[in-house]
Amino acid sequence: MQREAVTLTTSEQGGVAVSLDAIAQIVRSAALESYGVVGLAGRRRFALRRPWRDRTKAIDVRMGEGGLAIELHVVVEHGLKLAEVAAAVRSRIEYELERMLGLPIADLNVRIERVR
């Protein structure tokens, strides 16, 4: 089974590629370290119809024409300004991906699923 990867650099000696799963791990770590984030929330659209499917996927990373497209589902601490928390999460993720990979981000959606 071949997994999707993003090529960072190539040269005569070879290339460096990063899997989308590795990018998702960077996003997860950055999100959980962000101000106001209590945890990640899985998408539950078809949870009752197909309980055997993976319901806990809180991060979706795809490579598009303009760069990475990321969708993230989070749980936020009660009593905080939701827009402020979402902005902090976006900023942290953009910073970490730029610092580690140098890849452009075309789309970064932070969806607040629950407040706890």
Q: What is the pLDDT of residues 31-55, one digit of tens each?
A: 999 999 999 998 655 444 444 444 4
Element (H, E) at 23: helix 20-32
**Token representation of residue 17:** 């590629």
pTM assigned to the model: 0.85
Domain limits of the chain? 19-115
Rounded CA-CA distance 37/78 in Å is 10
Rounded CA-CA distance 80/87 in Å is 12
Give me the pLDDT at residue 89, please: 98
Hunting for tokens 């827009």 — which residue is that? 83
Residue 64 pLDDT more than 60?
A: yes
Q: Which CATH architecture has domain 19-115?
A: 2-Layer Sandwich (3.30)
